[in-house]
Chains A and B, each alone.
Chain A
């Protein structure tokens, strides 16, 4: 069956550091890929998505590229801020009730 594996956390970085959170997937067909973010005390919200191979999703300085050859969708940001501290979830689609979530990676950014 379909599954998502993401790096375990927590990840602790200093402000302005480079961020990578790894995500790999197993799926039949051509799923869509998502990153959701959960800020403290809030529900999840969509950060970015990509619907086909080689697509790059981007939002708020975060990027992720759908790599079919390596079955990966790694999340990157060039310079993190304290306000980026949150839990990040990789997920695969097509969406709705068929969304499969990874376990989540907690990010702490220190000032």
Chain B
């Protein structure tokens, strides 16, 4: 079972370059997310899409854009990469959260991005 698939797994960019991280899930989940993971800071939410056709900012959206292409796919774009965006990026998906329902997150394997 594929689950959540992200590409690329590794990328090195120069300051000012652009790139797009791709994510796809095959679990028919409504909600998808992009997180970044930095040492000692846990995971921070960049953007999320609660359902197809909607996107919202998370905790650290500056410097990023997202596109919910369809129910399966959610991409993250860096328009002009900066060294501060060096991080490991995770895509995740879940069923929609309703009321007190505990929505488990399913994660991809991560994309390690280095900006020089």
B56: A residues at CB distance < 8 A: 97
| Closest B residue by C-beta to A42 | B109
| Closest A residue by C-beta to B108 | A43
Total interface residues on A, using CB and 8 Å?
24
A22 located at the interface, meaning its Cβ lies under 8 Å from any Cβ of chain B in the complex: no
Q: Pick the residue among A34, A43, A93, A99 that contacts B90 (CB under 8 A).
A: A43
Q: Which of B40, B99, B102, B104 has the most CB of A within 10 A?
A: B102
B102 touches A34 (CB 8 A): yes
CA separation between A98 and B48, bound complex, in Å? 10
A89 located at the interface, meaning its Cβ lies under 8 Å from any Cβ of chain B in the complex: yes
B75 located at the interface, meaning its Cβ lies under 8 Å from any Cβ of chain A in the complex: no
User: Chain B 97-116, CB within 8 Å of chain A: the 1/0 string?
Assistant: 10111111111111000000
Q: Which of B58, B90, B101, B104 has the most CB of A within 10 A?
A: B104
B33 located at the interface, meaning its Cβ lies under 8 Å from any Cβ of chain A in the complex: yes
B40: A residues at CB distance < 8 A: 103
* Residues of B near any A CB (own CB < 8 A): 4, 31, 33, 40-43, 45, 48, 50, 56, 58, 90, 92, 94-97, 99-110
A-B contact pairs, 18 of them (CB 8 A): A30-B100, A34-B104, A43-B92, A44-B90, A45-B107, A49-B102, A51-B100, A94-B97, A94-B103, A95-B94, A95-B101, A95-B103, A97-B48, A97-B97, A98-B97, A101-B42, A101-B43, A103-B41
